[in-house]
Structure 1
Amino acid sequence: MLVPFLTACLNFLKLCKVKYYNYCLIHNVQRDFIIQTGDPMGTGRGGESIFCQLYGDQARFFEAEKVPRIKHKKKGTVSMVNNGNDQHGSQFLITTGENLDYLDGVHTVFGEVTEGMDVLKTINETFVDKDFIPYQDIRINHTVILDDPFEDPPGLSVPDCSPEPTKEQLDSGRIGADEEIDDMKGRSADEIEEVQAEKEAKTRAILLEMVGDLPDAEVKPPENVLFVCKLNPVTT
């Protein structure tokens, strides 16, 4: 029996090897805290360990590590998610904040991001709803293993190629991962011009607020004022 720390590593690598994570949604993005994925259902309530595929439902989860060797000190720390019963399945999180010591001893740290921190930063800044679910799908499209020190457990079935996603997998009810967001689509030329003018006016108002010429970007002058103008001191 492997110690839990190594079990978490083996579990993650073998799930990657059997393409379990392909098309999994990143279903939880909490800015400057964590991003969470690894549930094929995309709800945060699903997922199973590699041992479930080998030994059945009784091995859906494995025991969490009690004494972590690595702590959640820096961005890019990768941990198996605790299911609430001190057990792990397939879900994992990646930290986007630092010194998250309250995660220590709860979620088992088994790795860290070594490349692609720019991608992590982009995901961290995505727009989410009140439940921290991204408005636009963010998915794991594919997994590639560069090094695997563990022998495959007996009975592990490894696909010859990556499986195609099912319709159910791709139908999240949100904006698709490959869907372009174009707020100008279907608008007339006059409507587009009006929207652009509004955006430019808003930008100018924000700049005036920043330099102190307006108390607030949304402020409006009194109805009896035709316009507001502040001259450059050099011209007065």
Structure 2
Amino acid sequence: MSVLMVTSVGDIELDLHTDLCPLTTKNFLKLCKMKYYNGCLFHKVEKDFLAQSGDPTGTGSGGDSVYKYLYGDQARFFNDEIRPELRHSKTGTIAMASAGENCNASQFYITLRDDVDYLDDKHTVFGTVAEGLDTLTKINEAYVDDKGRPFKDIRIKHTYILDDPFDDPPQLAELIPENSPLGKPRDEVAEERLEDSWVPLDETVDPGQLEELIRSKEAHANAVILESVGDIPDAEVKPPDNVLFVCKLNPVTQDEDLYTIFSRFGSVTSAEIIRDFKTGDSLCYAFIEFEEKEACERAYFKMDNCLIDDRRIHVDFSQSVSKLWGQFRQSKRNGNKDGCFKCGAPDHIARDCDQDGEQKPKAPNYVLKDDNTQRGGNNRRSYDFVFEDDTARRNTDRRKVQKVDDQRSQLPPRGDRDRNSSRERSQNDEKGVRQKSR
């Protein structure tokens, strides 16, 4: 054994043919002593054929022989040492990856199967793998792209010389580093891939934690999509933790009924049954907002699957962020481009907002109405949601639409049309009276 090569997937012990290929083996041994191969990628792996390394750039087009460092640029390459008795006959054969005839430098390859006769008499065979065939199997099974580059880097970590029959040239001492280099070579320009130290998550965490992590990443990805299409104001926004979602309600159940029922768990800020926009009929689901998170949790555990008005309801924590959307739009209208749209503070953004902080108590959204027009005007005294600006806004909008329609049809304003129609009716009545008198 001449060299121990430590890779990111295991160790390989090499036997070199120092007697048959002195020029080639001396180049390889002295480069190992210079730690030239430390960090070099196996930049090309062809399954059941060969694995190639020895290029500090990681591209397959670089590399220099030790003779260049000793004697100058004119000695970058050295001649072939092809021997008829040295063939590519078995797995683990080591040979020089040359750029052409007599153009050997630092790159080498290791065969991954027996009888690679195609390469005989073309490349210099200078050694074999004595131990570490299991490491070659791991390299052979690596996933690679269409150019043979592994998706996960396989690197030479260290090289240790076990036997060196050649004397060191005087210039070599200056080329040997004090400490063995770690990490990538300085000259590497290859495309970045998964580092050799990367370990799949399923090998480092238990299945439960892995499933939770996958769900968390999927949820964040979905949130980013919703933000991009405008469904939520921010990907990091979270629904409030003091609001319950209640569904499967009886259509006869009223807002004040839910307010009364859920108030026994804590102070209720609002209890809103969602209704059809046109008819005002209940859509059989509602949102209950509490002042405190603890009260919300108590109601969740106690009220799920309970009977209300002969209907077994379902209770869950709300996932709606519609109120946050309203705050976001309001902040945009007010021109507050910076700061948090949740709490209005200018010193942070919504992503960093502490939602568990103290919130100002909200006044209840209830007013007492004598006639509930949403439910048919049955003169019941009940609680209902009233938006003060809605009626005035609707009347103003109707007047504007009517005015635009009149202008388009070139008709006089509605008041003038009423006066004209009454004048025409009076004239017609006078004509009728005159005809009868005749």
TM-score (normalised: structure 1): 0.74
Q: CA-atom RMSD, angstroms?
A: 2.6
Letter in 1 for 2:63: G
The answer on 1:187 being equivalent to 2:198 is: no
Tell me, yes or no, if the aligned pair for 1:78 and 1:94 is still in contact at 8 Å.
yes
The answer to which structure, 1 or 2, has the higher relative contact order (CA under 8 A, 6+ apart) is 1
Percent sequence identity over aligned pairs:
48
Letter in 1 for 2:178: D
Contact 1:62 1:88 in 2 (8 A): yes
Q: Aligned residues, how many?
A: 191
Partner of 1:210: none
Relative distance call for 1:173 and 1:189 in structure 2 (3 A) is: closer
Distance change >3 Å, CA 118–CA 5, structure 1 → 2: same
Structure number with larger C-alpha Rg: 2
- 1:163 Cα offset (Å): 2.4
Q: Distance in 2 between matches of 1:145 and 1:5?
A: 17
What is the deviation of 1:20? 0.1
Amino acid corresponding to residue 113 of structure 2 in structure 1: G
- 8 A contact 2:49–2:111 mirrored in 1: yes
State how far apart, in whole Å, the 1-side matches of 2:94 and 2:185 are: 29
CA distance in 2, matches of 1:150, 1:190: 57
| 1:50 equivalent among 66, 69, 84 | 66
In structure 2, do the counterparts of structure 1 residues 58 and 3 end up closer, same or farther at CA, with 3 Å as the change threshold?
farther
| 1:31 and 2:58 aligned | no
Of residues 62-71 and 91-100 in structure 1, the stretch that sits farther from structure 2 once superposed is: 62-71
Looking at secondary structure, tell me which structure has more strand per residue: 2
CA distance in 1, matches of 2:19, 2:74: 19
Q: Would you say 1:125 and 2:141 are equivalent positions?
A: yes
Query: Secondary structure, in 3 states, of the residue corresponding to 1:131?
Result: coil
Deviation at 1:161, TM superposition (A): 2.0
2:24 maps to 1:5 = no
Partners of 1:38 and 1:45 in 2: how far apart? 10
Out of 59, 73, 81, the residue aligned to residue 65 of structure 1 is 81
Inter-CA distance 73–50: structure 2 relative to 1 (3 Å threshold): same
Cα 1:3–1:11 change in 2 (3 A) is: same
Give the letter for the 1:163 counterpart. P
1:97 aligned partner, one-letter code = R
Cα distance between partner residues in 2 of 1:63 and 1:116: 29
The one-letter amino acid paired with 1:178 is S
Inter-CA distance 47–179: structure 2 relative to 1 (3 Å threshold): same
CA contact (8 A) 1:27 1:132 kept: yes
CA distance 1:122–1:164, shift in 2 (3 Å): closer
Give the structure with the larger helix fraction.
2
C-alpha spacing 1:97/1:26, structure 2 compared with 1 (3 Å): same
Q: For residue 29 of structure 2, give the secondary structure of its aligned residue in structure 1.
A: helix
Alignment of 1:44-193 (within 5 A): 44-156=60-172, 157-165=175-183, 169=188, 172-182=191-201, 186-188=213-215
In structure 2, runs of 5+ residues without a counterpart are: 1-17, 203-209, 219-438
